[in-house]
Structure 1
Amino acid sequence: MTPLAGEPIYSRESEYALIGAFFGDRPVDAYNRAALHITAEDFHTAEGRLTFRAMQALVQAGGAIDDVLLANRIAGEQGFHDSLRETLQQAAATPYAMSNVDQYARVIAEKSKGRQLAKQIEEIQRTLPQIGSGLTPMDVGAKLQATAMGVGTTATHIELLDNAQTNLRRMVEHLQRKQEGTVRGVRSGINNLDERIGDLEPGQLVIVAGRPGMGKTVLGMQYADNHGMFGDPDEQGRLPLVAVFSAEMELVKLVMRSASAAGRIDYHRIKKGTLIDEEYDRLTTFFARYEPTNIRIDSAAALTPATLQSKVRMLEQQTGQKVSLIVVDYLQLMQGDDTAENRALEISEISRKLKGTAKDFGCPVIALSQLNRSVEQRADKRPVPSDLRESGAIEQDADIIILLYRDEVYNPDSDYKGMAEIIIGKAREGGVGTAPAQWLGEYQRFDNMPEGAYGYESKYAN
């Protein structure tokens, strides 16, 4: 069954009016304005596609264009046949208003997106009988959401057309907001790290990677908790909306870790329920601080980029607030939206879509990641970006790569117990290097390194 069977999704009036403009007295102007919104494939009619491709070829060739040149070019286009002459003549004679060319093109673009939706909905309909046999209603809902996002609205603002003065004004406005404190990114609360890479900002994909036991989840949650509890409120006084996806750890355990880190309460005593009196007081203080936050956690085992985006969009709709940070624990536990030839290609797709998610939702995405076992074979086990599992796409897509190393994990008698090396392996807008931090395992947190400890000032001065 085809959606809207018998009802073609197109506007003959808009397509013919635009063709009429191409045959008018300002064809190049009409084409340039239309090309900001559509391509030849957005036309439903063959005459529309042929005319647009002919105009494109003539404009690229340069020189003057008139209706005779355009008609001759159309006749030479692949797919032209004599039976189209009459409809082309009708289209060329269609009245149009030059001031409405942009609107004609927008209507054609929206109708084209409607046809794309209809086709993809039809494909999804074919999968419905598989529900209950490896396919869940959530999977179908996620595909529908991904379909809607994939054919999103056409951009109406063309940044390339903005002049230098406009761009400078925007930069000055940004600096003013920074100075006034109205623009603040996401911070870890670890001074050495935050000073090196700056605040995490909208559109960034941040990878936090390390071997098991190094503290990937701890750092990811530290970003989430620090921003969710201490980030700047919005205009309505609401604390930042933070979305955490954990396919590895249960929700309750993540909140326990947050309580341990923020309240400085021994994590193992929280798990066992053997808190001492002063820790109960700290837990009460944590409850009062955590309760008004907008930190939302999803611990569903199955996660794809489409389901993640769908859930975030539902969260924004429910709360009426824009999400300001997304944390994913961890990348290799995610599944691709589509079947891939191998796992490496699937991870590449996931990485690319997480970067797209950061841009689409206008917030940083922190994705935790595993490292290859090859680290274990080296004498120096400090990780580098190439140690990322299926690293090629992840390295390329990431704006920032943070690698964790604690010497005591490998050397129980290490002179550097309680010290963590937070290695910035990539930072598009910051400096690479190492930010030393204190590791407080009993509290499940990283902290600022006390001055003079381990002589780190001289070791990491650069």
Structure 2
Amino acid sequence: MNKNTPPVNIEAEEAILGGILLDPMAISRIEANLKTEAFFLLAHQEIYRAALALFRQGKPTDLMAISSYLGDRSLLDKVGGTTKLAQLLNRTVSAVNIDRYMNLVMDKYLRRQLIASGHEIVDLGHDNVSELESVLNDSQKKVFQVCQQKLNAETKSTAEISIACFQDLETRHPIYETGLYDLDNLMVGFEPGTLTILAGRPSMGKSAIANFLTLQMATKHKLPVLYFSLEMTQKQLQYRLWSLISEFHCYRDHKLAKVRGDCLRKQRAGQIQLDQQEIDSIIKITEICADLPIFINENRSITAVGIASECRKIRAYEGNLGLIVVDYLQMMVGEKVSGNRSYDLGDVARSLYQLAGEINAPILALSQVSRGVESRQDKRPMMSDLSQSGILEMVADNIIFAYRDEYYYPDTIHENILELILAKARHGDTGQIKLLFDKSCGMIESLKVFDFN
């Protein structure tokens, strides 16, 4: 084929239109998925547009009806007159294969779209003014949008949405449980396309919570997790993951010795020597890690654009993403530095919220809260304490605050207790829960697991 000839299948286009003229029910099988602009010839677009209008009015789509519709709008001659319509009808024996013809037409249409995106990407490549990262992101988005066109429809009728909702109920469309019973009772779990903010003062256990939820998604739900660590290196995070795995509930049959995080640091510093049981456990843990679909990015200067790019790559490689973790928001660099940190952070939050919808995966973003809590008698964070930007309160689907009383009051009766305060739950209930927290390895467990009586 001549490379200058656009991909097109005129015969398939004619077969679709002929089938619509022949069989009054044929259009109902394709109208939801076949775009008018997918037809290459403008005449074919006008005929299909007329058929859609008639079908949606509950009227027949036969030769007479479409001829009258086009004639009333002075479009009949533009499509070739009744002669053209008669030719389409006479060449069609049956509409039984109209679905297959639709796929052929959409295939050629998407190829043409891809070529158009390619030309736009070439123009982007010649743009020496924009930053390279921005150019690469825009290029990826153009290709990604073509890939999504088969499924993506931003505006739908309630009839279509109701069908999709019912299918979700029947197929148990996933909302992923966190593994913390009390938290799941409030927010149910992580829903694809949502943004959850986990906030707290330093040393409240935010990273430990993120680690726990990461491991839960990878083990219970068998889904990939992409963890952006702007605070810790990959190795530091991996050591924490080792400690957690050594006490994690689903690995208890491995009979692992507890591997404390502080002992790992002291071993690396040459201050102590791990015993053989701990070494043997670490060997088993490394084998476990080899099968975990967890990916860690340690780029400390990453932007929202860079995060979006990495997410698309992992999603394309793995086929899905169960959770995206960003640790933490205040460390991120905005695309446009305005000089106002609150505005910049707001742009980052909005970008993550949009990304959650685009990738159709839940995002967990960690955030600091302001020092103002330190001056209060009750140091539990509130919405107004969210650091630097009220925009977080606006865009987040869920906002969870972490609090440990023993950090401020060492003699408290709430030793080893982690409180999670669900201050916002767009699709659930707000409330406060208490969990057991083992800081030495990052293990978190619901109090309901234990019977203290």
Provide the TM-score with structure 2 as the length reference. 0.71
Q: Which residue of 1 aligns with 2:354?
A: 352
Q: Distance in 2 between matches of 1:345 and 1:333?
A: 13
Q: 1:425/1:92 Cα in 2 relative to 1: closer, same or farther (>3 Å)?
A: farther
Q: Deviations over 1:212-243 (max 9, x none)?
A: 41322211112223554x548x7xxxxx6543
Q: d(CA) in 2 for partners of 1:154 and 1:417?
A: 54
**Residue type at the aligned position of 1:106:** N
Number of residue equivalences: 413
Closer, same or farther: CA 66–251 of 1 in aligned 2, 3 Å = same
State the Cα deviation string for residues 48-83 of structure 1 (Å, max 9, x = none).
2222322233233344454334223224559x485x
Q: What is the aligned counterpart of 1:123 among 120, 123, 127?
A: 120
Give the secondary structure class of the aligned counterpart of 2:7: coil
| Counterpart selection for 1:105 from 81, 102, 114 | 102
For 1:222, which of 212, 218, 223 is the aligned residue?
212
Q: How far apart in 1 are the matches of 2:347 and 2:51? A: 38
1:39 is matched with: 35
Tell me the CA shift for residue 448 of structure 1: 5.0
- Which residue pairs with 1:391 in the alignment? 392
Please, which of 8, 11, 16 is the counterpart of residue 10 of structure 1?
A: 8
Alignment of 1:173-252 (within 5 A): 187-188=178-179, 190=180, 192-193=182-183, 200=189, 203=192, 205=194, 207-213=196-202, 214-226=204-216, 228=218, 231=220, 241-252=224-235
Report the Cα distance in structure 2 between the residues aligned to 1:124 and 1:204, rounded to whole angstroms.
27
1:139-158 mapped onto 2 (5 Å cutoff): 140=136, 143-144=139-140, 147-148=143-144, 150-152=146-148, 154=150
Distance 1:114-1:203 versus aligned 2 partners, 3 A rule: same
Indicate the SS of the match to 2:131. coil
Structure 1 unaligned regions, length at least 5: 175-182, 235-239, 360-364, 458-462
Q: Hey, what does 2:64 align to over in structure 1? A: 68
Give 1:351 shift: 1.1
> Residue 220 of structure 1 contacts residue 327 of structure 1 at CA under 8 Å; is this kept in 2?
yes
Task: Tell me how far apart the structure 1 counterparts of residues 430 and 404 of structure 2 sit (CA, whole Å).
Answer: 18
Match of 1:362 in 2: none
CA distance in 2, matches of 1:81, 1:334: 58
Question: What's the CA shift for 1:275?
Answer: 5.1
- Kindly indicate whether the alpha-carbon contact (under 8 Å) linking 1:265 and 1:283 is maintained by their aligned counterparts in 2: no
Equivalent in the alignment of 2:238: 255
Distance (Å, rounded) in 2 between the aligned partners of 1:375 and 1:66: 72
Kindly indicate whether the alpha-carbon contact (under 8 Å) linking 1:246 and 1:300 is maintained by their aligned counterparts in 2: yes
1:90 maps to 2:89: no
Sort the Cα spacing of 1:81 and 1:25 in 2 relative to 1 into closer, same or farther, 3 A: closer
Question: Is contact 1:196-1:432 (8 Å) kept?
Answer: yes
Q: CA deviation at 1:285?
A: 1.3
Q: Which deviates more, 378-387 or 431-440?
A: 378-387
Offset from partner CA, 1:180-201 (integer Å, 9 cap, x none): xxx995545x564456556x46
Offset from partner CA, 1:405-436 (integer Å, 9 cap, x none) = 23455667766554321123455776542221
- Alpha-carbon separation, structure 1, partners of 2:201 and 2:279: 28
Structure 2: how far apart are the matches of 1:107 and 1:11? 7
User: Is 1:244–1:296's contact at 8 Å kept on the other side of the alignment?
Assistant: yes
Whether 1:296 and 2:295 are equivalent positions in the alignment is yes
In structure 2, the CA distance between the partners of 1:280 and 1:252, relative to structure 1 (3 Å rule), is: farther
Question: Could you tell me which amino acid in structure 1 is paired with residue 113 of structure 2?
Answer: Q
Check the 8 A contact 2:76/2:82 in 1, yes or no: no
- Give the secondary-structure state (helix, strand or coil) at the position aligned to 2:380: coil
Q: 1:265 to 1:144 in 2, by over 3 A?
A: same
One-letter amino acid of the counterpart of residue 86, structure 1: G
Partner of 1:178 in structure 2?
none
Structure 2 spans left out of the alignment, 5+ residues: 153-159, 247-257
Inter-partner Cα distance in structure 2 for 1:41 and 1:387: 50
- Measure, in 2, the Cα distance between the counterparts of 1:40 and 1:255: 51
Amino acid paired to 1:403: F
| Identity across the alignment (%) | 21
Inter-partner Cα distance in structure 2 for 1:349 and 1:76: 47
Q: 1:87 to 1:386 in 2, by over 3 A?
A: farther
Match in the other structure for 1:21: 19
Alignment partner, residue 265 of structure 2: 270
Whether the 8 Å CA contact 1:142–1:307 is kept in 2: the answer is no
Tell me the CA shift for residue 35 of structure 1: 0.8
Report the Cα distance in structure 2 between the residues aligned to 1:47 and 1:35, rounded to whole angstroms.
18
Matched residue SS, 1:51: helix
